[in-house]
């Protein structure tokens, strides 16, 4: 089996569609359905969405192209790719390390939220959600968040699922999971959207998401929109680079990257157009924070026939979305140890998956009354969970993206970059696309990221 020949021949995706689904599986996750709607709600809607869409187009897509191409060129983990395309002693290798570290940190708290989705599957299955009326749903969510042992149990269960898939390898694990889970997720979301177009709140929700209300946007909101465009596209930590490294040289990385970006953005907007009509129709608050999806969906579905099965299906699909993203985070970390340190996939998955599970325990306890979990014990006045999220999403990912852009645009040799870009591209006018992309990576992308970061620290 090709998958197992890690030492002699690196594994590859079985097909281009397999790669698209796996990479879209990485991109589409809790970031789209859980996080994007709630941060949009907290930042007042339209203007935030506009900044996010611009970030996706002018910063996210060029970096997505750079990451997948770097991976295809390097045929190695993120650290290995930076080393191969510069030199093993070069400082650029640190950019690869930054990715491994960010993936390690992110999976530790991502899995806690994914654990909440598992808990909601369980609640829905046991009828624990349909028995509760709308006003009490926030209390159900808060009770879960503050229950340390329950959070730990679901976090461990989710990490175990993630490790089982990563153990299966590229084709039999990652690709197979994405082929089943992604179409199911898209179908369910489309069905919900159709239902929500009929709700009274659809009009106000549409205006909330697409109307430009500039006054609601803050300094931190701009940073958050930029940070989120990295988070949602799985950029800045080498996930797309690692997935790109399993691409065949003849695969078209341009149309593939565009497809992944469009799918991801489409799902995020669809999620908003599902959640906000419900919010407005049932008189709830758009700024409900992390509980938004957990409080809204059970209310909306409760009026439909078969409410409890629909709720089970919804939270199961949210779990699937989280799972296809989590496996890419674990893969970033494992790939380094498999490619550079000669570990077997089994060793890497068990040891690193275990380490991430342990590192996630304080995140699982963050909202409980456990000692040292209050806001003042974390960084920047936040609890451990929020500190990690803030640090990784708002700082490490943009920094990783900045380094990716600078490396591709200024360090990788002209000739090698051009040849690699042209290989496997079926796009007409590839020459112009190449030049436009390079100019974006050289100037606009780094300047935008740097400005937003300076702005965030108040230096501008």
452 in contact with ligand PFF (CB under 6 A): no
Length of the chain: 460
Tell me which stretch binds ligand PFF (CB under 6 A): 15-23, 72-80, 159-167, 321-329: 321-329
> Interface mask (CB under 6 A) for ligand PFF, residues 55-84, using x and -?
------------------------------
Least spacing, CB of residue 160 vs ligand PFF, in Å:
18
Choose among 36, 112, 120, 101: nearest CA to 326.
112
Q: Which is nearer to ligand PFF, 72 or 417 (CB)?
A: 72
If we measure between CA atoms, which residue out of 106, 326, 335, 165 comes closest to residue 243? 335
Is the Cβ–Cβ distance between 43 and 343 less than 8 Å?
Answer: no
DSSP 377: G
Q: With binding defined as CB under 6 A, does residue 357 bind ligand PFF? A: no
| Part in contact with ligand PFF (CB under 6 A); list of ranges 70-78, 270-278, 322-330, 452-460 | 322-330
Neighbours of 128 (CB within 10 A): 15
Q: Binder to ligand PFF among 27, 69, 301, 352 (CB under 6 A)?
A: 27
Helix (H, G, I), strand (E, B) or coil at 27: helix
231, 314, 315, 385: which one contacts ligand PFF (CB under 6 A)? 231
In which residue are the tokens 């501008």 written?
Answer: 460
**Closest approach of Cβ 133 to ligand PFF, in Å?**
30
Instruction: Pick the closest to residue 184 from 318, 92, 81 (CA basis).
Output: 318
| Shortest Cβ 328–ligand PFF spacing (Å) | 5
Binding flag, residue 31, ligand PFF (CB under 6 A): yes
Which of 199-219 are b and which e, b meaning 16 or more Cβ less than 10 Å from the residue's Cβ? bebbebbbebbeeeeeeebee
3-state secondary structure of 150: helix
**Interface map 238-257 toward ligand PFF (x if CB under 6 A):** -x------------------
User: DSSP state, 34?
Assistant: I
Q: Does 37 bind ligand PFF (CB under 6 A)?
A: no
- 15 in helix, strand or coil? coil
Calpha distance 61→44 (Å, rounded)? 25
Q: How far is the CB of 327 from ligand PFF (least distance, A)?
A: 9
Shortest distance, position 331 Cβ to ligand PFF, whole Å: 9
Nearer residue to ligand PFF within complex by CB, 141 or 243: 243
CB-nearer residue toward ligand PFF: 147 or 331: 331
Instruction: Give 102-123 as a DSSP string.
Output: HHHHHHHHHHHHHHHHHHHHHH
Of 131-139, 168-176, 229-237, 422-430, the window that binds ligand PFF (rule: CB under 6 A) is: 229-237
Rg (the chain; Cα; Å): 21
**Position 237 contacts ligand PFF (CB under 6 A):** yes
Angle, alpha carbons 424-425-428 (nearest 5°): 150
Cβ at position 312, least distance to ligand PFF in Å: 21
Q: Report in angstroms how near the CB of residue 275 gets to ligand PFF at its nearest.
A: 15
Region near ligand PFF per CB under 6 A, out of 10-18, 27-35, 63-71, 153-161: 27-35
Task: Kindly indicate which of the ranges 23-31, 69-77, 81-89, 422-430 contains the residues binding ligand PFF, using the contact rule CB under 6 A.
Answer: 23-31
Q: Distance between CA atoms of 96 and 117, rounded to whole angstroms?
A: 31
**Count of residues in contact with ligand PFF, rule CB under 6 A:** 15
232 binds ligand PFF (CB under 6 A): yes
Binding flag, residue 329, ligand PFF (CB under 6 A): yes
Q: How far apart are CA 134 and CA 130, in angstroms?
A: 10
Whole-number minimum distance, CB 29 to ligand PFF, in Å?
Answer: 2
Query: Residue 30 interacts with ligand PFF (CB under 6 A)?
Result: yes
d(CA 104, CA 126): 33
Contact of 243 with 334, CB cutoff 8 Å: no
Q: Residue 38 is encoded by which pair of tokens?
A: 């709630």
By the criterion CB under 6 A, which residues form the site for ligand PFF?
Answer: 26-27, 29-32, 103, 231-232, 234, 237, 239, 325, 328-329
């Amino acid at each position: 089996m090709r998958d197992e020949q890690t030492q002699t021949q690196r594994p590859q995706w079985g097909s281009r569609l397999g790669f698209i689904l796996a990479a879209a599986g990485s991109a589409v996750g809790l970031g789209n359905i859980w996080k994007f709607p709630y941060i949009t709600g907290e930042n007042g809607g339209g203007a935030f969405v506009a900044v996010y869409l611009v970030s996706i187009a002018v910063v996210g897509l060029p970096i997505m192209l750079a990451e997948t191409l770097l991976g295809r060129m390097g045929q190695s983990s993120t650290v290995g790719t930076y080393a191969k395309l510069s030199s093993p002693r070069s400082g650029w290798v640190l950019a690869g390390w930054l990715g491994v570290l960010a993936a390690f940190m992110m999976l530790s708290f991502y899995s806690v939220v994914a654990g909440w989705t598992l808990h909601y599957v369980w609640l829905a299955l046991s009828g624990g959600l349909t028995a509760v009326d709308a006003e009490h749903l926030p209390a159900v969510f808060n009770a879960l968040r503050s229950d340390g042992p329950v959070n730990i149990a679901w976090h461990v269960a989710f990490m175990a699922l993630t490790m089982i898939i990563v153990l299966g390898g590229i084709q039999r694990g990652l690709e197979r999971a994405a082929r089943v889970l992604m179409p199911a997720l898209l179908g369910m979301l489309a069905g919900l959207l159709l239902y929500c177009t009929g709700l009274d709140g659809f009009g106000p929700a549409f205006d909330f998401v697409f109307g430009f209300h500039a006054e609601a946007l803050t300094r931190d909101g701009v940073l958050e929109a930029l940070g989120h465009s990295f988070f949602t596209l799985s950029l800045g930590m080498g996930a797309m680079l690692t997935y790109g490294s399993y691409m065949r040289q003849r695969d078209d990385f341009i149309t593939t990257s565009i497809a992944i970006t469009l799918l991801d953005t489409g799902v995020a907007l669809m999620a908003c157009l599902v959640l906000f009509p419900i919010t407005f129709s049932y008189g709830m608050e758009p700024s409900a924070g992390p509980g938004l999806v957990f409080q809204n969906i059970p209310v909306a579905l409760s009026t439909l026939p078969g409410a409890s099965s629909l709720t089970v299906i919804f939270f199961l699909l949210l779990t699937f979305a989280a799972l296809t993203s989590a496996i890419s985070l674990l893969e970033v970390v494992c790939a380094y140890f498999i490619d550079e340190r000669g570990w077997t996939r089994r060793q890497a998955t068990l040891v690193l998956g275990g380490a991430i599970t342990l590192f996630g325990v304080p995140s699982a306890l963050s909202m409980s009354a456990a000692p040292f979990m209050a806001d003042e014990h974390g960084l920047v006045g936040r609890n451990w969970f929020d500190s990690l999220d803030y640090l990784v999403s708002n700082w490490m990912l943009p920094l990783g993206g900045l380094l990716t852009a600078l490396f591709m645009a200024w360090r990788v040799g002209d000739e090698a970059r051009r040849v690699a870009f042209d290989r496997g591209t079926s796009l007409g006018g590839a020459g112009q696309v190449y030049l436009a992309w390079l100019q974006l990576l050289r100037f606009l992308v780094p300047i935008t990221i740097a400005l937003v970061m300076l702005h965030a620290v108040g230096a501008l």
